[in-house]
Structure 1
C-alpha cells in the first residue's frame, strides 16, 4: 500500500509517461482505462508492468467508477480529461467530462483514508486568460486564475472553460473534504510517446503549423524527463531546423508575449532543456512509428 498509486486515463499521452516512470521507481500502479484494449498494449509491455501494473476499466462520467482503482492507494494522479477544442455539443463533450469527471474521481478518493494526496493535471489555460495586460516583462505564476469572461472571448473557449471550471470545482471539493491536492499547469506537450495511436491532425499542427505558438511560449512541456510531479517544463530557443518538405514558420523577430514563472519547477529540481531537442525527438518518434514520412 505504501507504494501503490492510481493514474487515471492511463493510456493517454501524458499518463503513459507517468505510468512508466512510476513503475521504474518501484511503485505499484493502478491505471484506469477505457474498454479499447488496443490502446493499452504499450502499458502492459512496460518494464515492471507484469508484476506491478493493474488496469481498471472506468468511465469518468459514472459516479463510483473509479472506486476499485483507488482502493489501497496512497496517491492519485488524475490526468484523464478530454482535449477537445470545439464541439457541436460542448457541454456534453467537453465541459461535463472535465468537471463531472474530476468530481467523480475526487469522490472516489474521498472514500479511501489511505490516500494522502491527489495530483490534478490541469492546464495553463486555467491561469493566463484573465484580462490582465500582458507584456514581455509580465511574469505569470500559479497565483493567477483565468476568468470565465476572458475565456469566453478567447479561441477554444470551451476547452478553456472546461479547465477553469474543473479546477474551481476540484478546489472547492477538496477544501470541503479536507483533502490534500496539488494542481499541475502544463502548457504545450511535445516529446516521444508510447501509445500506438495518435491524433495525427493535432500532432501535425503542433510540429508544422504552430511553430510561432511554441516560439511564443517561454516554457513548454517535454515528456521525456518526467518528474514525480509528472511534468517537466523546457525552455524557449530561437531556432529550429525541422523539415525540408514543409514551410518553416519560425519568426526570428517574434518576442515572447510574457514570461512564465519557473520557481515551482526549480524547487522540484527540474532542469530546463532546449525546445529544439524536444521537437526533434517528437519528429523522430513520429517517423519511427510511421505516423509521418519526411
Structure 2
C-alpha cells in the first residue's frame, strides 16, 4: 500500500519548481492531489504525470485574493503551501512584488485551512533565506546555523535582500497565525534548490548557474557561497514532514556549503568543454561560509543527501536539454 493511498492533499503554486516535483512524488506515493495555480491552462504538463489522470485536480487561486483557496483545501487531509514569489536583482517595489504576496498569500492559505476541519497539518515551504542572513554571522569564522536562527530584517533591508525579507516575514506571520488558531504547522527551510526540473519554464534560482557559467558571478549567491540541496531531497522532506506524526517546528535542508569557485571547479571536472569563468580560490579570503546544521533533518528521516556532484550534473544536463547551455 502506498503511503498516500486514501489521503487528499493540496499543493499551492503548482507551476513552481519545488511544487511540480512535489506533486510528482505525491502522485507516485498514491496521494490524491489538488493543485492550485493562477492559470490552470498553463500547467498541462502536470496532467502527464503518472497517476494524474485519476488523482490530480487543478484549481484556480491567487495569493492576494482572500478566500480563493477555500475550494481547493476543503476536505483535504493536508496542505503544502509552496506558492511565493521568487525574485532577485533589480526590484523596483519590494512590497508589491515580493513582500505583500508572500505574507498575505500565506495568511490567505492558512485562513482557508481554518475553514476545513479535515486538515491535519500544513507544510510551509520557507527558505534558508529566512534563517542565515544576519550581520552577526555573515563573514564570521566557523558559524553553524540551525532551526533556532532567523534572518535579521534590518540587515536584510540594509543590503536590499528583499527576497530574504519576504521569506522571513511570511514565515513569522505563519507561525503567529498557526499558534493563535491551533494549526499544526511544519516549516521546511531549504537552501538553493537545484537539480532536474519537471516544469517547462525555469525559476529564478537557475539564473545562478547561467550567470555563473556565462559571467562568473550570480544573483543568488550574494555572499560568495551557496547551501545547495537537490530538489528530490527537498520534496522528500516535505512528504516526510507531513507523514511523520512527531514532526514539528522548522527543518533546515542543505546538502553542503560551497564557495562559487568550488562549484566552478566541479563543473569543470564534469564538463571540460563547458565555457566557464576562471575559478578564484582566493575568494575564500573575502568571507566565511555559513554552514547549516543537519541534525534536526535527520530526525525527520533525511539521513543522507544526493551527492552535490550528481545534483550539479543533473542541473547542467537539464539546462542542456532545454537548449540553455551548449556543452
TM over 0.5: yes
More helix by share: 2
Measure, in 2, the Cα distance between the counterparts of 1:7 and 1:268.
20
Q: Is the 8 A contact 2:257 2:291 kept in 1?
A: no
Is the partner of 2:63 in helix, strand or coil? coil
Say which is worse superposed, 208-217 or 99-108, in terms of deviation. Answer: 208-217
Is the partner of 2:102 in helix, strand or coil? helix
Measure, in 2, the Cα distance between the counterparts of 1:89 and 1:249.
35
Aligned pairs (5 A) from 1:191-230:
191-199=195-203, 202=207, 203-205=209-211, 209-210=216-217, 213=221, 216-217=225-226, 219-225=227-233, 226-229=235-238
For 1:44-88, what per-residue CA distance to the aligned partner results, in whole angstroms no more than 9, with x for missing partners?
A: 000000000001011111000000110111111100000012422
Unmatched 5+ stretches in structure 1? none
Say which is worse superposed, 10-19 or 27-36, in terms of deviation. Answer: 27-36
2:59 to 46, 49, 56: 56
Q: Is the 8 A contact 1:222 1:232 kept in 2?
A: no
Is the partner of 1:185 in helix, strand or coil? strand
Q: Could you tell me how far 1:90 is from its partner in structure 2? A: 1.7
Q: Could you tell me how far 1:123 is from its partner in structure 2? A: 1.1
1:173 to 167, 172, 177: 177
Residue 163 (str. 1) matches residue 167 (str. 2): yes
Match of 2:91 in 1: 87
2:68 to 59, 62, 65: 65
Measure, in 2, the Cα distance between the counterparts of 1:50 and 1:36.
15
Is the partner of 1:18 in helix, strand or coil? helix
Q: Could you tell me how far 1:272 is from its partner in structure 2? A: 2.1
Change (3 A) 1:160 1:252: same
Measure, in 1, the Cα distance between the counterparts of 2:325 and 2:119.
42
Is the partner of 1:234 in helix, strand or coil? coil
Unmatched 5+ stretches in structure 2? 240-251
For 1:188-209, what per-residue CA distance to the aligned partner results, in whole angstroms no more than 9, with x for missing partners?
A: 1210011112258725125554
Aligned pairs (5 A) from 1:274-293:
274-293=307-326
Measure, in 2, the Cα distance between the counterparts of 1:88 and 1:31.
30
Residue 241 (str. 1) matches residue 250 (str. 2): no
Measure, in 2, the Cα distance between the counterparts of 1:252 and 1:236.
15
Is the partner of 1:235 in helix, strand or coil? coil
For 1:123-156, what per-residue CA distance to the aligned partner results, in whole angstroms no more than 9, with x for missing partners?
A: 11111123323534221001011221111122x4
Match of 1:120 in 2: 124
1:77 to 71, 80, 88: 80
Runs of 4+ in 1 over 6 A off after TM superposition: none
Q: Is the 8 A contact 2:191 2:253 kept in 1?
A: no
Measure, in 2, the Cα distance between the counterparts of 1:172 and 1:267.
24
Say which is worse superposed, 127-136 or 63-72, in terms of deviation. Answer: 127-136
